[in-house]
Amino acid sequence: MAAINLELSRRDMLKGMGCGIAALAASTAVAGSVNVAAAAGGPANEDAWGILIDLTRCTGCQSCALACKEANDRPHPNTVPIRLDTDAYSYVEERQIENSVGDKETVSIKHQCMHCLHPACVSACTVGALRKTAEGPVVYDAEKCIGCRYCQYACPFGVPCYEWENPLGLIHKCEMCASRLAEDEKPACIAACPNGALRFGTRHQLLAQAHAQIVSNPGRYVEHVYGEHEVGGTSVLYLSPVPFSLLGFPELGDDPNAKYAEAVMKATPAIALTVASVVTALHLFMQRRQQVHGEATVHAESHKPGAEL
């Protein structure tokens, strides 16, 4: 059994490292020719599509999150997601806060990709697998992805999720239902919301609408549209009844983080990719070891006296 273990371990380790070496070779080939358009963060089009999320209207019904899973053909379509992961491109968090008169209050917060105007993930991707479209969505091309996970490191909102189970690795994230938009349909989450908490329109229109709502509803909203200026602006915008810092929204400057990601990319392409490759290899190695150990335990149990066959 020890010999089999060793053989499996080495094979899995080599498989993981092979991916890493392939990715590293690809990185070396492209490191000197970072896509200039992508590094610039793609088009920052004010008339592109956007989503306005009004947290004062969200009841936490989860319809949007489940519609998202269905639209993106994710597994377990009836299970309510509790975080962004490869199975869920959006989720609704319930957060307890203390309101201005000291009472406890629950605020439901829909999370998803912010579709930044200057996306750090796009700047960080050396092979152009992520792209900001003129229509608004930041889309992903699995065919181009080498699994380096730079986009994960670069995203200031922790959005891209990595498919660890796949030796070649794939990134998962919301694409603003770009394929539905191409068919003149709204994103699935927008269509599913029964409470008017999600609005779809051009970013320009949504910003005007958000500011008009703040003015015409004194006391209902804080005077801040999250995403208007953060990291140079995002296509997903939020209205909130309380300061965003109380809801765990990252306090980011107005400068696009893309500039930061671009600088990191140019400085460390091979090093970061090598680290990502080794981490992937180790993950596969540990996972297989656990599987083999589990199988060995079951095998030993089934050979105990009195065990059912």
> CA triplet 165, 169, 171: central angle to 5 degrees?
105
Q: Which is nearest to 137 in space by CA: 77, 180, 100, 83?
A: 180
Binding test (CB under 6 A) with ligand SF4, winner from 42, 60, 233, 256:
60
Minimum CB separation from ligand SF4 for residue 258, in Å?
Answer: 8
Q: Is 181 in the site for ligand SF4 (CB under 6 A)?
A: no
Binding test (CB under 6 A) with ligand SF4, winner from 17, 39, 145, 155:
155
Q: Which is nearer to ligand SF4, 119 or 269 (CB)?
A: 119
> CA triplet 103, 111, 90: central angle to 5 degrees?
135
Q: Which of the residues 67 through 86 are near ligand SF4 (CB under 6 A)? A: 67-68, 71-72
Query: Can you spell out the DSSP letters for 232-275?
Result: G-BSEEEE-SS-GGGGT-----SS-THHHHHHHHHH-HHHHHHH
Q: Is 186 in the site for ligand SF4 (CB under 6 A)?
A: no
Q: Is 52 in the site for ligand SF4 (CB under 6 A)?
A: no
Binding test (CB under 6 A) with ligand SF4, winner from 38, 41, 42, 63:
63
What CA–CA distance (Å, rounded) separates 156 from 137? 17
| Contact of 244 with 226, CB cutoff 8 Å | yes
The separation between CA 294 and the C-alpha centre of its own chain, rounded to angstroms, equals: 32
Which helix (DSSP H) or strand (DSSP E) does residue 238 occupy?
A: strand 236-239
Q: Is 64 in the site for ligand SF4 (CB under 6 A)?
A: yes
Segment contacting ligand SF4 (CB under 6 A): 6-14, 58-66, 77-85, 274-282?
58-66
Q: Is 157 in the site for ligand SF4 (CB under 6 A)?
A: yes
What CA–CA distance (Å, rounded) separates 44 from 231? 12
Which one-letter DSSP state was computed for residue 245?
A: G
Q: Which is nearer to ligand SF4, 60 or 169 (CB)?
A: 60
* Chain residues in the site for ligand SF4 (CB under 6 A): 58-64, 67-68, 71-72, 89-90, 92, 108, 110, 112-116, 119-121, 138, 155, 157, 159-160, 173-177, 187-189, 192-193, 195, 197-198
